Structure 1
Amino acid sequence: MNDVRQRLSMDKDWLFHLGEVNVPVNKSHNSIYGKAKAGGVVGPAGMEWNDATWQTVQLPHDWSYQQPFDRENGVPNFGFKPRGIGWYRKKFRLAAEDQGKHLMLEFDGIATGASVYLNGSLLERNFSAYTSFTVDISDRAYYGDRPNVLAIRVDATEAEGWWYEGAGIYRHVWLTTTMPLHIAERGVWVRPEKINDRIWQTHIETIVSNDMEHDLSFTLTTYIQNEKNEVVQKASIESSCAAGSKNTIVQQLDVSNPALWDIDTPHLYQVNSVLTIDRQHYDTVVTSFGYRTIRICPDQGFFLNEQPLKLKGTCNHQDHAGVGVALPDVLQEYRIRRLKEMGSNAYRAAHHNPTPELLDICDRLGMLVMDENRNFESSREGLLQLENMVTRDRNHPCVVFYSLFNEELHQGTPVGRRMVKRMMRTVKRLDPTRPILGALNGGVMEDEGTADILEITGFNYMHTSYDKFKAKHPAQPIIGSETVSAFSTRGNYANDSIKQVFDSYDREKAPWGATVREAWQAVAARDFVMGTFVWTGFDYRGEPTPYEWPSINTHFGIMDTCGFPKDAYYLYQAFWLNEPILHMLPHWNWRGREGQPIKVMTHTNCEEVSLYVNGQFISREHVDLYKQLEWEVPYEPGIVRMEGYNNGKLVKVTEVVTTGETTSLRLEAQKPYLDGDGKDAIVINMYAIDAQQRFVPTDSRFVTFTLIGSGKILGVGNGDPNCHEPDAAQARSLFAGCCQLIVQSIPGSDPIVLLAEADGLAPMTWVIPVKEAAEPSHIASVKETYVNDWHVTQEPYIVRPDPLMIMDPTDMNTWEKVDVSYGALNMLRGIRGYVVFRSQLFLSSQIRSSASLHFNEIQGDVEIYADTELLLAASLVEPTSLEIPLREVDLKGKKVITLSVLVHITEQMSKPGISSSVCLLA
């Protein structure tokens, strides 16, 4: 037997309807009786619902950001974007050979409440937008010709957080198929332990699941491979698993001198868990992990691989300009790389556990992660969400902390204390290796609160209380779990409450916050504070503090919503990088302000800086790292130059130049090409430039984009916190000289030609190479509407009956409910006479005249009626496939038609009657 585990994408070609669906009320006994049965759901979750007019969408999908801004009904915290209710449907077939396998749907995240239906039955409800969850569909799946109908109702009317959360199936969906004997979902946990300077013991727990009705013996072979795919250790064990149960197998493999995972050299290993029976392959699971140690010290902070490391982190929500929260994977990588280039080494997923792909990227790039729980609850549901986070994420070496809560009402109370104790026990049972914290914005000095029972006390702001808390709790580790909350607007250098923008001189801050310099000095000066998580790495949609309309996102970010750096980005580089940094602000395009003073400021880690204006020496000053330097310089067009010195030697030079008018745009692509697999994406940044190729930081003209070739524009943005232009568009204005496109491939390899047109500029074109690549393995969608609600007369008629006979809605006995997709009914074999099949066909208002009714297999002398009209009369001696056109005149103005199929059967027929699925092809 071959290894048949497959993990297939379910992202492609879903049907989507925005808003609740109006289902006609049917008070008949037959309707009410049927809805109370498995598979009997009606409406958009049912098998027969006609979805021909629904929109086709691809996952990840966020419907909220695509809606217009709504000042009257919108909520400022959610960016004035409507949410509401939406329906998704995906119809798909499974191969006949998949029958008997174990089938698991994996949902990485749905915002917010989700009800999951398969083939007319409610299988699962999920209550958090940030919880990944699985649904076992092994018992309910159909195989062969009969399509499955997966329907999901998403209710985003209520919010979990107080920021833009999006709405819809905004993360990936997968279908994993395995043999009945298989390694369980999330069934491998790898826990490396350092024994001495040379040996690491790799603890591996593997859960084997047996869905068979008899006991099975098997062999589990575990291989550890390095980055070169070399096997560095191997072990096999014989075991067994009882029918319908699970068996947890523990192995301990010693590895000598492994390459360690750290932030600079994030070496990754793989555990290959192979399940065999009599040398036949049943299952393989590959688990990525890393060898590293973490340790926290109340006096010296955080240690990675026994080396002290100050955590230089940022807090981040998960939305991005142009796409809402439905980020393609490469956009996740773009954001992490931006943070790494700034000098950041840690990422707080605020305030929720992130998409799994982000953790994969942090593993690969070397970014530490504070993995945060969304809902602070010790209830059954709360603990289930917490368990979900830990079991999903505990193999990731990047995850170094679990955070239980953020700024909770009970943080300083005995109730919160009891809740934390129970939640910590839950985490430690599943993963004792990572310290647990909570992010508090108060209550840290209360004796019966949560601050002193957490393994780390997280301080949200309150940086003036570090010393006071340390004096009271000298053995309690401290971290700045949320700091700064400074305001700035990219490319802006004067506060303007009318325009609702801030300057960029690191002096504007929230009442509870601090400037960049104040907050970092408080952390850097104290070894016992293990690090900081700045609020925030990126601006984010919603929570438009301190303004509201027309502001639709925050001003907190070190970068804007596109990832364009603000000036603060370079101040963090000066603090966090071990190389000379010399950044000057502002720009030097101040036409009309000649002779007026302009504040010039450094963001540098150089010891001294000299300033020149048009070659004239102004001064050379010593730099206080936490104050920086400022000059008031009368504006004159030209060149402002700074020179940075360390130990008296020139180490860095930077210049700001008065530019000419914009003559064209410069394109900056995230990577050199797109994979033409229909999933890959690329970030395209556009910059206004003058005739000498210099960036023009004041341009705001409107640019229209056209794509030709194997690509599409997912969204556009410019980072303007007050811009109401649509994100799902083909055009965008520049903001402070920049805008951004996110381009996704469509299957193919034709190069993409990007055309940009703007007033006053000649049209510009660029070519984005597309590399031929196969589409990822996925489950294809089918479009037909399945007709399955069939009844058949139980007893054959000797004399031809009226095929249009009235069916009493309370009659559950003369007429029998049947499922024709499983083949010919045994009750009809070997008999002679007439039977009537009856069903209903639900129509959309826009059904096409070319629609047809398709019988996959039918045998006998048949008469097929739509309501009272005879569509076809035929003698089918052998089982036959039929396709019957439905003329538009028959359907006009009708929402439902009754299908009646009269079949004359003889004893010799092999598959009498309807013996396979029936579909409406619209």
Structure 2
Amino acid sequence: MRGIDFNKDWKFYLGEPEGAHLLDTPDSKWRDIRLPHDWSVGFSFDQERGEACTGFLTGGIGWYRKRFVTKKEMANQRVILNFDGMYNRAHIYCNGKLVTFHPYGYSPVLVDVTDYLNPVGNENILAVNIDHSRYADSRWYTGSGIYRKVTLHILPPIHIPVWGMSAFTERLDGDRAYMKGQTTLCNTRGVAESLLLKIAVTDDTQHRIVEQEYNVHLLKDETKEIPFEFEIDNPNLWDVYQGNTYNLSATLMINGQVVQEKSERFGVRMIHFSPDKGFFLNGKNTLIKGVCLHHDAGCVGAAVPKDVWRRRLKMLQSCGCNAIRTAHNPMSEDFLDLCDDMGFLVQEEFFDEWDNPKDKRRNNHERTVDYITRGYTEFFKAYAKSDLQNTVKRDINHPCIIQWSIGNEIEWTYPKYNHATGFFGDDGNRYRFWKTAPHKKEVIREKVSKIPEEQDDVGKTAAKLAQWTKDMDTTRPVIANCILPSVSYENGYIDALDMVGYSYRRVMYDDCHENYPSKPIMGTENKGQWHEWKAVLDKPFISGVFLWTGIDHMGEAWVEKPWPRKGSNLGLLDLAGFPKPPYHMFKSLWTDAPHIKMFTVPLEQSLYQLDDKGHLAYKPGESWERRSWAWQEVNDYWKYQEDEPVIVEIYSNCHEVELFLNGESLGVKYLKDVEDRIFKWLVPYAHGKLVAKGKTGQEVTETYLETTGPIKAILLETDRQNISCGADDVAHITLQLMDEKGNSVRDLHTQVTFTCTGPGILLGIDNGHPDNVSDFQSDTIVTSEGRCLLIVQGSNPGEIKVQAFAETLGIASNTVSMICHKETV
């Protein structure tokens, strides 16, 4: 985050101590912490009090306090605090006085404490009350506390605001980029003033390529926008996987003296969505290979160090993913910085509910909203505009952002329109994934025309949100994730949008493109199945998809089964960031480099059976064209009963694959013949080694599974040998059980205990399984698929050593070590 780091030396108290906001209240018994901080992730999972919707972790009321001295440089200046995210209902006090109330848990807020500070040299108390007693107020895990960073900004009376500079690409013409920008100037000095504004642009080598000067006269209490234009020859374009950026800097001078210097990053890139030809980035037709992501990261909860996101994004990038949808709220500034650097396209979403609430316990079955499930809706009318526009102002310079989404599956909450679609029958099946709209456009239009408009109407609210967005930025399209597009085209909702996102409605692409051809469409929430991507390849007017989801997240646990299921199990990566079977399917679809991965499952547990001719076929009720969210159960091992019939599934983009068992060929299969993109063999189990060789031209790619023996060793590996003491630096320690041949044992599990010596903090532990409800902040865990993950953070300079021990097996792991260095500022 930009600004002065304000995250150290905080104190925290879980509860409601008397006078917590007052200067003279003692806090010696409060806990010392460093932000970001999520207190809920430190709780034990609670089956009785917790709720499946938020992952069985509860909330509560907490207080944060920070003491700081009014320094000389703060005198006669504006002192602003930037809170990037607090969950939620935050009251911010300075020296005992309430400064502001900020209810939304995901939007940034600037807090001006200038008029509340004590004189220079005196101590101040900043106190923040977080009320997350309504701990099931969302449909997914939220976290609790000041879970994102805080920065301090000291601004002169005449200044550029914290979010007061922007630059964007107006057009690309040959080897030249034509740019536009804007700087906001504010005069809070009380008298008119003349000043000099210097604008400069530098590239990533600090070479100055643009210099401009503007003489500006500001009246008393005036705020003025200063537009400017510039050109860049042979620009280094921001692109997918190419995080090229430039630096825009501004210098304010009064009477020859510099009063403020400010800089922002931006990227040079052009985006365009065509109703007929899809998405274009820098003039090149580009498929959006996207995933939806929630803001938690498993065992670290919602307070996510940048290194944790970096590892996860790298894993997604390696399978060909190039886009992220922030489901269903703004992400942190740190996350967007990473997406800029790594070249991810981003759809930033603002809200999951508008005027009317969603039932957090039962998605799209709006029945009850009680105290603990009361969410943002009660604040929406008063705060939606500022929350939305603050987010846009903060994020406008991020080249990664290509769309603003004003809402997610909002239609459920305006139920008067539902039956006009024809989807809502007596069987209660609201989704009806495999049917186009039962009612034709004319029927829906007639039914909608007879429904009286109300004060809180989906079309009216959408129009307000879209306009508030466009008041801030017109360079990106406004979109929404529509679960009922057939009626949303007719009730004014889609009229407010620049393009339309379809939520699980791929079977309606053709129908809606024909009936409403003027607006671009794409999948914005799609099942992680081959048929969803095939629809994109078959229809050039579809820009791409956002799969549900890229990574498993906590909460929404009722999607599949109750306790102990703590999270959604529908991602390409699990809660610990380990790849799952669909990850390899989409790597074979989204990347060009040869890829091959093999899984197995007993025939009777599989999707398949033998037909009358003895060939493998899908069981009745199963078909690849209608596979829904959950991936079929398959195993990453070769270990069954002798002669047991076993299905071998192989996901590969190789043109042909040959399977061998103990050196004997079981035949060759060709990708052109594999309609469902899954190579399959039925193999009687035999102890030994299963090898698959994929061939494309002369290039051969190989993978294997070998029958494993008992656990004989524990392998520890770390992704970092050097970390700093900073809050964003962590080492990921992975543990894998091994047999005597050095093969990974995936079918056996055991409890392991970690020891950490040196200045290391065990930040979180997890095995990735959605049913694991052991404490995240622990040193002990039972493995899943023979593996687990430990995340370690450094507290002070020195050597950190980590080892694991399985007491029941009497086996210790190797020791991994890393050097923790002093934090660099």
TM tier, smaller: 0.7 to 0.9
Instruction: Judge conservation of contact 1:320–1:561 (CA < 8 Å) in 2.
Output: yes
SS at match of 1:322: helix
Partners of 1:679 and 1:257 lie apart in 2 by: 35
Residue in 2 that maps onto 1:403? 405
Asked if residue 376 in structure 1 is aligned to residue 357 in structure 2, the reply is no
Residue 666 of structure 2 aligns to which amino acid in structure 1?
I
Alignment CA distance shift 1:6-1:525 (3 Å):
closer
Instruction: Judge conservation of contact 2:307–2:728 (CA < 8 Å) in 1.
Output: no
Q: Which has the larger radius of gyration?
A: 1
Alignment CA distance shift 1:94-1:689 (3 Å):
farther
Residue in 1 that maps onto 2:554? 541
Instruction: Judge conservation of contact 2:477–2:498 (CA < 8 Å) in 1.
Output: yes
Task: Please give the per-residue CA displacement for 1:228-265, whole angstroms capped at 9, x wherever unaligned.
Answer: 11111111112132333322211111221211110132
SS at match of 2:642: coil
Residue 100 of structure 1 aligns to which amino acid in structure 2?
N
Asked if residue 432 in structure 1 is aligned to residue 474 in structure 2, the reply is yes
Alignment CA distance shift 1:443-1:764 (3 Å):
closer
Q: Structure 1: which 5+ residue stretches go unaligned?
A: 24-42, 487-515, 777-922
Residue 124 of structure 1 aligns to which amino acid in structure 2?
T
Task: Please give the per-residue CA displacement for 1:641-684, whole angstroms capped at 9, x wherever unaligned.
Answer: 1111235x453221111223333333333334102346522222
Partners of 1:395 and 1:181 lie apart in 2 by: 23
- Does 318-327 or 660-669 show the bigger shift? 660-669
Equivalent of residue 751 in structure 2, options 680, 691, 702: 702
Residue in 1 that maps onto 2:669? 621
Equivalent of residue 416 in structure 1, options 431, 453, 458: 458
Asked if residue 632 in structure 1 is aligned to residue 632 in structure 2, the reply is no
Alignment CA distance shift 1:721-1:632 (3 Å):
same
Partners of 1:616 and 1:767 lie apart in 2 by: 40
Query: How much does 1:173 deviate?
Result: 1.0
Equivalent of residue 511 in structure 2, options 468, 477, 480: 468
Instruction: Judge conservation of contact 2:804–2:812 (CA < 8 Å) in 1.
Output: yes
Alignment CA distance shift 1:300-1:97 (3 Å):
closer
Q: Structure 2: which 5+ residue stretches go unaligned?
A: 356-379, 418-447, 601-634
| Aligned ranges 1:97-108 → 2 under 5 Å | 97-108=73-84
| Aligned ranges 1:357-368 → 2 under 5 Å | 357-368=334-345
Equivalent of residue 233 in structure 1, options 210, 221, 238: 210
Alignment CA distance shift 1:249-1:753 (3 Å):
same
SS at match of 2:568: coil
- Does 440-449 or 282-291 show the bigger shift? 440-449
Residue in 2 that maps onto 1:176? 153
Residue 369 of structure 1 aligns to which amino acid in structure 2?
V
| Aligned ranges 1:787-798 → 2 under 5 Å | none
Partners of 2:145 and 2:30 lie apart in 1 by: 15
Partners of 1:388 and 1:762 lie apart in 2 by: 54
Partners of 1:67 and 1:58 lie apart in 2 by: 18
Query: How much does 1:317 deviate?
Result: 0.5
- Does 379-388 or 163-172 show the bigger shift? 379-388
Residue in 2 that maps onto 1:124? 100
Asked if residue 7 in structure 1 is aligned to residue 3 in structure 2, the reply is yes
SS at match of 1:205: strand
Task: Please give the per-residue CA displacement for 1:859-897, whole angstroms capped at 9, x wherever unaligned.
Answer: xxxxxxxxxxxxxxxxxxxxxxxxxxxxxxxxxxxxxxx
Query: How much does 1:127 deviate?
Result: 1.3
- Does 728-737 or 363-372 show the bigger shift? 728-737
Root-mean-square deviation over aligned CA pairs: 2.0
Equivalent of residue 137 in structure 1, options 76, 99, 113: 113
Partners of 2:178 and 2:677 lie apart in 1 by: 48
Residue in 1 that maps onto 2:739? 690
Task: Please give the per-residue CA displacement for 1:816-854, whole angstroms capped at 9, x wherever unaligned.
Answer: xxxxxxxxxxxxxxxxxxxxxxxxxxxxxxxxxxxxxxx
Residue in 2 that maps onto 1:815? none
Residue 317 of structure 2 aligns to which amino acid in structure 1?
K
Query: How much does 1:475 deviate?
Result: 2.1
Residue in 1 that maps onto 2:85? 109
Instruction: Judge conservation of contact 2:503–2:523 (CA < 8 Å) in 1.
Output: yes
Partners of 1:543 and 1:757 lie apart in 2 by: 34
Query: How much does 1:215 deviate?
Result: 2.5
- Does 123-132 or 199-208 show the bigger shift? 199-208
Query: How much does 1:171 deviate?
Result: 0.5
Alignment CA distance shift 1:697-1:720 (3 Å):
same
Q: What fraction of aligned residue pairs are identical, expressed as a percent?
A: 30
Query: How much does 1:590 deviate?
Result: 5.3
Query: How much does 1:425 deviate?
Result: 1.6
Residue 801 of structure 2 aligns to which amino acid in structure 1?
V
Paired residues, what number? Answer: 720
Residue in 2 that maps onto 1:481? 524
Residue 276 of structure 2 aligns to which amino acid in structure 1?
D
Instruction: Judge conservation of contact 1:96–1:143 (CA < 8 Å) in 2.
Output: no
Partners of 2:350 and 2:228 lie apart in 1 by: 30
Alignment CA distance shift 1:449-1:161 (3 Å):
farther
Residue in 2 that maps onto 1:753? 801
Query: How much does 1:77 deviate?
Result: 0.5
Residue in 2 that maps onto 1:854? none
| Aligned ranges 1:600-611 → 2 under 5 Å | 600-611=648-659
Equivalent of residue 612 in structure 1, options 660, 672, 683: 660
Alignment CA distance shift 1:236-1:732 (3 Å):
same
Partners of 1:629 and 1:180 lie apart in 2 by: 68
Residue 400 of structure 1 aligns to which amino acid in structure 2?
I
Equivalent of residue 645 in structure 2, options 597, 601, 605: 597
SS at match of 2:312: helix
Instruction: Judge conservation of contact 2:53–2:138 (CA < 8 Å) in 1.
Output: no
Instruction: Judge conservation of contact 1:753–1:765 (CA < 8 Å) in 2.
Output: no
Equivalent of residue 448 in structure 1, options 487, 491, 502: 491
Instruction: Judge conservation of contact 1:192–1:291 (CA < 8 Å) in 2.
Output: yes
Alignment CA distance shift 1:771-1:591 (3 Å):
closer
SS at match of 1:695: coil
Partners of 1:129 and 1:592 lie apart in 2 by: 49
Instruction: Judge conservation of contact 2:720–2:818 (CA < 8 Å) in 1.
Output: no
Partners of 2:585 and 2:74 lie apart in 1 by: 57
Instruction: Judge conservation of contact 2:594–2:652 (CA < 8 Å) in 1.
Output: yes
Partners of 1:268 and 1:199 lie apart in 2 by: 16
- Does 129-138 or 370-379 show the bigger shift? 370-379
SS at match of 1:693: coil
SS at match of 1:707: strand
**Structure with greater helix share of residues:** 2
Residue 65 of structure 1 aligns to which amino acid in structure 2?
V
Instruction: Judge conservation of contact 2:92–2:128 (CA < 8 Å) in 1.
Output: yes
Residue in 1 that maps onto 2:599? 585
Alignment CA distance shift 1:769-1:627 (3 Å):
closer
Residue 584 of structure 1 aligns to which amino acid in structure 2?
M
Equivalent of residue 335 in structure 1, options 283, 294, 312: 312
Partners of 2:728 and 2:392 lie apart in 1 by: 28
Instruction: Judge conservation of contact 2:716–2:803 (CA < 8 Å) in 1.
Output: no
Residue 607 of structure 1 aligns to which amino acid in structure 2?
H
Alignment CA distance shift 1:57-1:588 (3 Å):
closer
Alignment CA distance shift 1:563-1:677 (3 Å):
closer
Residue in 2 that maps onto 1:490? none
Instruction: Judge conservation of contact 1:266–1:365 (CA < 8 Å) in 2.
Output: yes
Equivalent of residue 554 in structure 1, options 568, 576, 589: 568
Equivalent of residue 316 in structure 1, options 293, 302, 309: 293
Asked if residue 291 in structure 1 is aligned to residue 268 in structure 2, the reply is yes
Instruction: Judge conservation of contact 1:674–1:768 (CA < 8 Å) in 2.
Output: no
Residue in 2 that maps onto 1:348? 325
TM-score norm. by structure 2 comes to 0.84
Alignment CA distance shift 1:281-1:662 (3 Å):
farther
Task: Please give the per-residue CA displacement for 1:672-707, whole angstroms capped at 9, x wherever unaligned.
Answer: 410234652222222222333322212321221222
Residue in 2 that maps onto 1:242? 219
Partners of 2:709 and 2:385 lie apart in 1 by: 60
SS at match of 1:11: coil
Asked if residue 644 in structure 1 is aligned to residue 694 in structure 2, the reply is yes
Alignment CA distance shift 1:526-1:6 (3 Å):
closer
Partners of 1:278 and 1:339 lie apart in 2 by: 52
Residue in 2 that maps onto 1:808? none
Instruction: Judge conservation of contact 2:202–2:209 (CA < 8 Å) in 1.
Output: yes
Equivalent of residue 521 in structure 1, options 507, 531, 534: 534
